[in-house]
A and B are shown apart, each in its own frame.
Chain A
Amino acid sequence: MQIKNKIRSIALLFGALFLLLPARAAAEVNVKEIVFEHLGDSYMWHITEWNGHEVGIPLPIIVRSHEGGWHVFLSSRLEHGAEYQGFYIASEGNHAGKIVERNAAGEEVRPSIDISITKNVLALFISCTILLLVILPVARWYRDGRMTPPRGFRGAVEMLVMNIQDEVIKPCVGTQYQRFSPYLLTVFFFILINNVLGLVPFFPGGANITGNIAVTFLLALCTFIATNFNGTKEYWKETLWPEVPLWLKLPAPIMPVLEIFGIFTKPFALMIRLFANITAGHAVILGLICVIFITASMGAAINTGMTIVAVAFSIFMSFLELLVAFIQAYVFTLLSAVFIGMAVEKHTTES
């Protein structure tokens, strides 16, 4: 009962807080800006502020302007709205936060190509390096053909690899699992490492990679390619001419259209699921942290109380996110394996 009462009072406190929010907070702390700044990408890896100076890692900007010609320079040149070689970071409009230039007509446009090493790109490189540094030494350890099981960290990696392979890939993909297991394992560990690094609040973690639609898009695209470029005749027959009553196929091809639509919705769901889960988790934690700063102006008592609540909740959320980090990597791998399995495996339903 006591715990229940406590929870209720905390919930009430929270409710009251959210009622107060719009009136007071907007002036001092722009929560939306903070959250979106974190969830999105940036040209500089902001770490902290020190004595009014921004401390961060300047990152290389690589752009190709509309007039042609590549421009490579450090993002520190563009700090505080400065302009360099005709490029600057837009502060408003469609391209807010992005590098823009002015075209001949004087309009603000994005450079024709922008492959700058942004915060997310650098974080991606770091996580890829970590992934390679985790897996390759473990794999090298096996080269000598030793027959004793590994211990410690290698044992943990082996356990995870074999668990995913035996419990997810093998049953879902079927007989041809060995062809797809490297891809699926890479996907699993890639997502897992990026998810976990995203939970680390400081450099080199903190970037929101798996909560970025470009990243999940590419992962889903890979699954899409693996599924449809390896589909058997049977798979395409099931898709284009499924075994349903004829009137569902002729004269209006309702089922085939649905099936073809399904080909695209499956990976699309993969893309959105991962993106949304990770983004939501980050947003919740950030929102909870922001509560501390919002309530700073409400007096010491409320601020202290809310700080305790917010920290407690973000600890809880961080644990939850740790779980989600694993679950989402697992789910992405599992569903990819299921889709691939549906495409490459001979169905046994007829027999």
Chain B
Amino acid sequence: MSLLIPDTGLLFWMTLSFLIVLGILTKFGFPIITKAVQKRSEYIADSMETARLAEEKIAALQKEGDAILAKAQEERNALLNEAQEIRNRMIAEARGAAEAEARAVAEKARADIEESKRKALSEIRGQVADLSVRIASKVVRERLADEGAQKHLIDRLLDDEINYPS
């Protein structure tokens, strides 16, 4: 069977061409493809890893941000509370002070009134005394020219004194 006997000519050319093809593809063909694909899959794996890390970082940052926000909120609330307190206290203080002031003013007014009253009383007392003296002196000066007139005068003077106290 000629089919089963390798032909030397074809074998020669086959050897030559196959080895050339093998050489070329080994140098410029398959290793470049496989290496590039390998590099690409490494790159993809790296990218995935980087993305995962970035995502983690973002999640951490978000958490941190949330914490900061919560803390700020808390601080704000505390500040607000404090301010409220201060306000209340100030109002209370102011009110106390105002009350005290008012009380002092009222006190002073009362004292003044008291003083004026005392002064007036003493003045009145002085004037009464004075009047008494004046009336007495008038009475004494008129003499008892007329008993009736004298009596009438005393009544009138007394009326004056009582109705229009000086």
Contact = CB atoms under 8 A, between A and B. Distances in A.
Contacts of B25: 131-132, 135-136, 182, 185-186, 189
A113 B10 CA distance: 11
Interface residues of B, number: 35
Nearest to A182: B26
A277 interface: no
Contacts of B22: 182-183, 186, 222
Contacts, number: 130
Interface stretch (B29-37, B48-56, B88-96, B149-157): B29-37
A128 B32 contact: no
A139 B10 contact: no
Interface string A110-143: 0001111110110011001001100110111011
Interface in B1-58: 2-15, 17-18, 20-22, 24-26, 28-34, 36-37, 39-40, 43-44
Contact of B13 (A113, A124, A136, A178): A124
Interface in B50-94: none
Interface residues of A, number: 51
Contacts of A138: 33
25 contacts: A36-B3, A115-B8, A116-B9, A118-B10, A121-B9, A128-B17, A128-B21, A132-B25, A135-B33, A139-B29, A142-B33, A143-B32, A147-B43, A181-B30, A181-B31, A182-B29, A182-B30, A185-B25, A185-B34, A186-B26, A189-B25, A217-B6, A217-B11, A218-B14, A218-B15
Interface of B: 2-15, 17-18, 20-22, 24-26, 28-34, 36-37, 39-40, 43-44
